[in-house]
Amino acid sequence: MNLDQLRRSIKGRVVTKVDHEFESVKAAMVWNEIKPDRSPEVIVTVKDDDDVIVAVNFARENGLKIVVHGGGHTWCGLAVRNGGMIIDLANLNESTIDKTNRTAVIQPVISNRELARRLSEHDLAFPIGHCPTVKASGYLLNGGMSWNLSEWGPACLSVEAIEFVTADGKKLKASATEHPELFWAARGCGPGMFAVATRFHLKCFPLPKTIMTSTYFYSLDDLREVVDEVTALGWKMPSIIELSIFLMKAPPELSAQCKKSNGKVCMVSAVAFAYTKEEAEATLAMLESGTAVKKCLAKMLNEPSSFEKLSDVAGSAWPEGHRNLCENQCSKAKPSDILMALRNKIIDAPSEKSVMVFCQSTGQHNLLEPYDDIALSMDAQSYGGSWAIWEKAEEDAANIKWQNEVAFIIKSFTSTHYIGETDIVEDNTRVQGSYTPEKWKKLEKIRAKYDPEGLFFGYLGGTDK
């Protein structure tokens, strides 16, 4: 089959380097405004599963490696490789929801915001991601660092089955009982996935009737005391609380009080996912029981929220149309040691939009715990990192330098990385650094079984300069 035959064989769109729209279509494959200096041979935007099969077979028969674009943030532009084919899933966004059995079947490019909206119409919820525009496919395959993480766990734990098109152009369904090795790998393999996921079968939860947020702002002069107190209280709070500590630009009304720290502030955010107003208020009130709270510059208590409102707030922290660098860590180190090591870096950040955030343990167990039945390899009491966010290309050098210095500091506290939010192109050791040695060995064995000829690019294929 040649390219003309491919175009006639699918319902979607085929774009190659000779087409005038190629550059704009390629640019759209990467959410980040830092676009990689790489280029595929062909981009196939599919309409359905049959299109995926045709595209996979064409790539295999013509010696083209495959990468899948699922609509995520692609911090380091992994949806675009040198050579090969991009299979773009942008049109696959349908869902079927079963309220009685609390399940849903979704196609891969439904956004976090849209999934939350569709489920809420049936009084259901799912552990969606924090950024509203991120799509299900990459989010779930990476593992899914979700809202209500301490209670619901990573999102991939609530995936009950995945439908794939594999390297041989066949459709199959992977679950705990069907192709269990592929199912194990898919829950955490992320950008190294070696098949095209076309549907996810989800276990859903009753929609929390009360979502409520309390927010506190503190001077960076009090950072260690605040972090020590907040994290100690976190261990006493129930797991329905999501507890996060931000280092960021102060809101305008507090900027005068933060002049010594270059307008930067520590923000503590606690979100309760409860079933009654009384339960939410009682658990959030635990943050009032310490002594450091008396030093807060401002606070907003028990504010009613929703998944939609949470998405709006998170979306403002990671805005569209910006240049971004990201580095994260999972850590068992003392949280105040991590944040104090980073304190001066946020003060000196060349961009006011850059932010650091670390989620903390609640519910008397580590925020992230190891699971044998998924590839995701995270075991930590805190999870988070640094996001350099800026607008202009002429500011690249200063922000890249700053982010590299931050990553160097974070490295000494890191136990593992989250494969979905670490720049594996900048530092390829972060690939294996995202998995235990045992899980990495198992992943490679399963890859060899399902993609023996290496049709899919994997983690770093095609990212050479």
Q: What's the pLDDT tens digit per position in 178-220? A: 999 999 999 999 999 999 999 999 999 999 999 999 999 999 9
Predicted pLDDT at 354: 97
Region class of 77: left (phi > 0), else alpha (psi between -120 and 50), else beta:
left
Alpha helices in 10-80 (DSSP H): 22-28, 49-61
Q: CA-based angle 334:387:137, to the nearest 5?
A: 100
The reply to whether 95-206 and 210-421 are identical in fold is no
Quote the distance between the C-alpha of residue 269 and its chain's center: 19
Domain boundaries, given as residue ranges, for the chain: 3-88, 95-206, 210-421
Strand-pair category, 85-88 with 42-45: parallel
Q: What H or E segment, with its residue span, contains residue 171?
A: strand 171-175
Q: What topology does CATH give the domain 210-421? A: Vanillyl-alcohol Oxidase; Chain A, domain 3 (3.40.462)
The pTM of the full predicted model, rounded to 2 decimals, is 0.95
DSSP code of residue 464:
-
Distance (Å, rounded) from C-alpha 132 to C-alpha 130? 6
- State how far Cα 406 lies from the chain centre: 20
What does the pLDDT read at residue 337? 97
Does residue 246 contact residue 318 with C-beta atoms inside 8 Å? no
Q: How far apart are CA 424 and CA 431, in angstroms?
A: 6
- The type of residue at 220 is L
Least confident among 307-316, 354-363, 365-374 = 307-316
For residue 242, give the nearest of 209, 206, 283 by alpha carbon: 283
Question: Which helix or strand (DSSP H or E) is residue 314 part of?
Answer: helix 307-317
Residue 434 has pLDDT above 70, yes or no: yes
Q: Among positive and negative, which fits the CA dihedral 33, 44, 431, 151?
A: positive
Report whether pLDDT(386) > 90.
Answer: yes
Query: What mean pLDDT is predicted for residues 385-405?
Result: 97
- Model confidence over 309-358: pLDDT tens digits? 898 888 888 888 999 999 998 999 999 999 999 999 999 999 999 999 99
Map residue 13 onto helix, strand or coil: strand
SS3 for 158? Answer: helix
Q: What number of other Cβ atoms are within 10 A of residue 143's Cβ?
A: 27
User: Does the pLDDT at position 253 exceed 90?
Assistant: yes
What is the rounded distance in angstroms from the CA atom of residue 268 to the CA atom of residue 283?
15
DSSP secondary-structure letter at 207? P
CATH of domain 95-206: 3.30.465.10
CA end-to-end span of the chain? 30
Rounded average pLDDT over 137-150: 95
For residue 51, CA distances in Å to 7, 56, 66, 93, 343 come to 10, 9, 14, 15, 50
What pLDDT sits at residue 72? 72
User: What phi and psi, each to the nearest 5 degrees, are found at residue 102?
Assistant: 55, 50
Predicted pLDDT of residue 182: 98
User: Are the CB atoms for 133 and 74 separated by under 8 Å?
Assistant: no
Per-residue model confidence (pLDDT) at position 308: 87
Query: Could you give the 3-state DSSP secondary structure of residue 296?
Result: coil
Q: Is 297 helix (H, G, I), strand (E, B) or coil?
A: coil
pLDDT 10s digits, 90-104 = 999 999 999 999 999
**Whole-number average pLDDT of the chain:** 95
| pLDDT score, position 464 | 82
CB 113 within 8 A of CB 133: yes
Q: What angle do CA 394, 395, 401 make, to 5 degrees?
A: 130
For residue 101, give every residue at least 6 positions away whose Cβ sits within 8 Å of its Cβ, in sequence order, or none: none
Q: Is pLDDT of 71 > 80?
A: no
What's the pLDDT at 9?
A: 96
Task: Give pLDDT tens digits for 109-141.
Answer: 999 999 999 999 999 999 999 999 999 999 999
**Confidence class for position 465, pLDDT limits 50, 70, 90:** low
3-state secondary structure of 164: strand
Residue 170: Cβ within 10 Å count: 12
Q: How far is CA 322 from CA 30, 247, 319, in A?
A: 11, 19, 7
**DSSP classification of residue 368:** B
408-to-162, 223, 403 alpha-carbon distances in Å: 37, 21, 9
pLDDT at 313: 87
Could you say which of 3.40.50.12140, 3.90.1530.10, 3.30.43.10, 1.10.260.40 is the CATH number of the domain covering 3-88? 3.30.43.10
**C-alpha span between 174 and 163 (Å, rounded):** 6
